[in-house]
């Protein structure tokens, strides 16, 4: 499947999620997605797992509470209703399907390729003087910068720890703060220089 078709399929998939109201259909979709996720490398699935789980938990709790309807459980000000459980289940599964769908579509396609495909899809908007090409070029450059920036920060941190007498947690925090902000400012002011330096260190 081409990257452009993947993006279009994902957009159609999201649109269909907001049209479906049946919990039974959502459970069927969940089973289908679960089977597909089993075929994806676990390394890709574990990426960002904790923030995703926390976000899903927050989505469920924020929708299940304070909903009017048939009371299923109450403890002081905490009231869980049948309607609240239904709304929370639908919205949480909807968010989960969006995240799972994104992981499935990006499992075998690099993110920069998908961004380039998105730029090709939206290229007709340039007729209306919308800078589509410049926007997605900047986005692609930013994505390529993140791994280099991460490696550069790790190398600097190890050098500071090795050369300095750092003790305790707060000592490490001060070391990180001493070079992290200047590094980000340098990467934003002269990104091309940063890329050249990162490539030289890698070489």
State pLDDT tens for residues 25-61: 888 999 998 888 888 888 877 877 888 888 899 999 8
- Report the pLDDT value the prediction gives residue 195, as an integer from 0 to 100: 55
For residue 70, the 8-state DSSP code is S
- Alpha helices by DSSP H, the chain: 3-17, 23-37, 42-46, 49-64, 82-106, 111-121, 132-163, 168-189, 191-202
Here the tokens at position 136 are 């997605």
Distance of alpha carbon 90 from alpha carbon 201, whole angstroms: 49
Q: Where are the domains of the chain?
A: 3-109, 133-202
pTM to 2 decimal places: 0.64
- What distance in Å separates the CA atoms of residue 13 and residue 142, rounded to the nearest whole number? 27
Task: Give the pLDDT score at 190.
Answer: 60
Burial class (CB in 10 A: 0-12, 13-18, 19+), 186: middle
Greater confidence, 106 or 171? 106
Average pLDDT over residues 170-182: 68
Contact of 75 with 92, CB cutoff 8 Å: no
d(CA 74, CA 40): 41
Q: Are the C-beta atoms of residues 44 and 103 closer than 8 Å to each other?
A: yes
Of 98, 97, 143, nearest to 116 (Cα)? Answer: 143
- Cα distance between residue 155 and residue 183, in whole Å: 12
- Place 147 in a pLDDT band, splitting at 50, 70 and 90: low
Tokens of 124: 């007709």
Distance CA 184, CA 178 (A): 12
pLDDT at 66 over 70: yes
Q: Which pLDDT value is given to residue 12?
A: 92
Q: What is the pLDDT of residues 92-117, one digit of tens each?
A: 999 999 999 888 887 877 777 877 88
């Amino acid at each position: 499947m081409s990257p452009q078709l993947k993006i279009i399929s994902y957009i159609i998939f999201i649109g269909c999620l907001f049209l479906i109201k049946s919990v039974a259909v959502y459970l069927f979709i969940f089973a289908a997605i679960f089977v597909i996720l089993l075929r994806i490398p676990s390394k890709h699935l574990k990426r960002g797992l904790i923030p995703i789980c926390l976000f899903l938990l927050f989505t469920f709790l924020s929708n299940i509470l304070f909903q009017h309807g048939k009371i299923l459980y109450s403890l002081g000000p905490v009231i869980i209703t049948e309607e609240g459980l239904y709304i929370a289940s639908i919205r949480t599964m909807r968010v989960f399907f969006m995240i799972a769908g994104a992981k499935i579509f990006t499992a075998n396609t690099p993110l920069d390729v998908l961004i380039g495909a998105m730029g090709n899809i939206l290229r007709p908007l340039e007729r209306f003087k919308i800078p589509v090409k410049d926007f997605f070029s900047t986005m692609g450059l930013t994505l390529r910068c993140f791994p280099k920036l991460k490696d550069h920060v790790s190398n600097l941190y190890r050098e500071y720890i090795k050369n300095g007498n750092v003790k305790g947690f707060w000592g490490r925090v001060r070391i990180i703060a001493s070079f992290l902000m200047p590094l980000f400012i340098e990467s934003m002011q002269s990104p091309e220089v940063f890329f050249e330096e990162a490539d030289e260190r890698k070489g």
